[in-house]
A and B are shown apart, each in its own frame.
Chain A
Amino acid sequence: MSTVTFKCPNCGAGLLFNPENQKFHCEFCDSAFEQPYLEQLAKEEERRAAERAKKEQAAPESKEQEQGGLVYLCPSCGAEIVTDGTTAATFCYFCQNPVVLSGRLTDEYRPDSVLPFTVTKEDAVERFLGWTSKKKFVPTGFFDKKKISGLSGIYYPYWAADYQMDARFSGTGEIVTQISMSDEDIITTKHYAVAREGKAEFRDVMRSALKKQDRKLGDGIHPYRLESLKPFSMAYLSGFFAEKRDIDKDAVRPEIIGELKEYADTMLREDMHYTGVSGSTLVNPKGERYRYVLLPAWIVTYKDHAGKLWHYAMNGQTGALCGKLPVDKGKVATLGAVIGGAAAILTLIAGWLFA
């Protein structure tokens, strides 16, 4: 397999994607390039990478390691790059140049679309600090700017599914009316056989396509506005980390259809006007479209004094944040004592007044 570093046509340094102006930027000579230009460059690189890959098959450069990690060679300095089985873009630890493992993103593993970062690293640090400063129960001094500045931008793989389906509900419904007489209530229940048929459409149902991703953390920063999706180009990954998918769409399909069945059921029931309805919905998918997309997230991994790791994720498009925060139990207990004490005292005062 092969590696690519998108190089500045002017000076040859590694190019980085700049979320602020959505251009590619050379930190070295301060050049900026539009996306279509890089597109061409990327195609060229991919073609060359593919050629190299053919040669590699005769004499493989990369070798499988014991933990499933793989070793690549940096196209700039030739240093070894050790990666996870799903890494698709990273940095050379030696020369810090962005490296895209192009061989990881070919054929069926080539994403359909990518949502480029729009939150810059500086923005992300600022938002994160703003968020943590609002959380009053975090132990004092837990967050410091220096550690947070080590956050990394990662493209995560997702399945985005669109569905057309026929849905059919069948069951029973009842309408209950109650008349109050002087000495008794008369409760009348009318029973009906109820059926509904409908055509449903669902767009952009998301499922993570990466096994190692923390589902709660990953889902916590949704939704993304998928109308900004761009056709995939490897150039977007330059300057970020990226993961390739390791979950097939066949693995997420049953779960997605099951979820959509629930939605269809709810929507069909919204069309009924009964006091109570019981029954179930069956769905029959008529058309489906699965897109393999890369979505951007800023990730902070934070080690506290006790050595425990805390993970935080920020939506790379909207800036939405998610992550477990450490809680200073003493601070919470103090607030609890104040609220509890006030509640008790007020109740006792009420006990005097309304005895």
Chain B
Amino acid sequence: MKKIVVSILTAGLLLAFSSVTAFAGQWVYDNAGLFTDEEEAGLEELSAAFRTDTGMDFVILTADDAYSSAMERADDFYDQNGFAADGMLYLIDMYNREAWISTAGQMIYLLTDSRIDAVFDETNGFLTDGAYYDAAEGVLRRCKEYVKAGAPSGGSYAYDPETGNIVGRYEEEKSFNLLFIPIALLLGGAGFAAPFFLVRHSYELKGSTYRYNFHSSGSLDVTARTDQYLSTTVVRVPHPKDSGGGGGGSAVHTSSGGSTHGGGGRGF
């Protein structure tokens, strides 16, 4: 009980500090009763940290009642509970015996199909063994790493799996690029120094001496020309091999609520 109080206090504090949040913090919905209280509190804490660190929601849902499919259950739950536009839901669906990751917004581009596969490769073993907490904790940790790493280098895109058409491309979030700080310092320094050089040049007679204009005051008539061919040399330079860029794609679909989700699942 004490732990719950502490975790609620922590979550409350974190929420108070994160101005972007309007959502009252619950991310773990253990409807199937797979976690102990301590485990649930721990996951809640991790989800809260996920939210503060990334600005995205990481929702954990367990269920064992009947539903049309794991995908629909995950998408609908995310859509209907007022989570952030960017985020994901990890569903452990005991009824369908399937783990599902549903992604929304920017998370679609961060968790590409191949990354979701990798996450399941890593965590589905826990589900088979009944170690549900370890599975959820592993998914969360791995996904957080992916978010921190950003979209795969080479670009990330969303596509319709039925037609193969690309329906969206990842755009880097407009956050401040730290690289610009040294550039700003450099340009600022150059801007500061420029007047000194210019003034020095025009005030202190640097390089302002008169040059004789030999084109207007002189002339030259060429009286003899020799251009005798001597030899030819040929050099062949092979082109550098092109290394194609990486990147990755995410299959997307539209949920019954009308919003777009990416994601994938795997049975256990």
Query: Cβ of B222 and Cβ of A197 under 8 Å apart?
Result: yes
Binds A, one of B33-41, B103-111, B182-190, B250-258: B182-190
Q: Counting CB contacts under 8 A, is B17 at the interface? A: no
Additional 12 contacts, C-beta under 8 A, given A336-B194, A347-B188: A135-B203, A191-B231, A193-B230, A196-B224, A198-B221, A199-B223, A205-B217, A206-B212, A322-B208, A324-B205, A339-B192, A346-B187
Complex CA gap A176/B136 in Å reads: 66
Given contacts A327-B199, A339-B192, contact A198 B222 (CB under 8 A): yes
Query: Cβ of A324 and Cβ of B204 under 8 Å apart?
Result: yes
Name the contact of B184 in the complex, choosing from A187, A219, A268, A344 (C-beta under 8 A).
Answer: A344
Q: Counting CB contacts under 8 A, is A185 at the interface? A: yes
Pick 10 A–B contacts, CB within 8 A, sort by A.
A187-B236, A194-B227, A200-B221, A202-B214, A268-B222, A336-B195, A348-B184, A351-B176, A351-B181, A355-B176
For B232, list chain A residues within 8 Å (CB).
188-191
For A205, list chain B residues within 8 Å (CB).
212, 217
Give the bracket for the number of chain B residues in contact with chain A.
Answer: 35 or more
CB nearest neighbor in B for A347 = B184
For A282, list chain B residues within 8 Å (CB).
none
Q: Report the 10 A-B pairs with minimum CB-CB distance, sorted nearest first.
A: A351-B180, A340-B192, A344-B188, A340-B191, A343-B191, A347-B184, A355-B177, A222-B210, A263-B214, A195-B226
Q: Counting CB contacts under 8 A, is B2 at the interface? A: no
Complex CA gap A223/B114 in Å reads: 75
Tell me how many residues of A have a C-beta within 8 Å of chain B: 73
For A322, list chain B residues within 8 Å (CB).
205, 208
Query: Cβ of A186 and Cβ of B236 under 8 Å apart?
Result: yes
**Nearest-CB distance from A324 to chain B (Å)?**
5
Q: Counting CB contacts under 8 A, is B141 at the interface? A: no
Query: Cβ of B218 and Cβ of A263 under 8 Å apart?
Result: yes
Query: Cβ of A348 and Cβ of B180 under 8 Å apart?
Result: yes
For B172, list chain A residues within 8 Å (CB).
355
Query: Cβ of B188 and Cβ of A187 under 8 Å apart?
Result: no
CB nearest neighbor in B for A183 = B239
Query: Cβ of A325 and Cβ of B174 under 8 Å apart?
Result: no
For A341, list chain B residues within 8 Å (CB).
188, 191
**Nearest-CB distance from A185 to chain B (Å)?**
4
Q: Counting CB contacts under 8 A, is B24 at the interface? A: no
**Nearest-CB distance from B246 to chain A (Å)?**
21
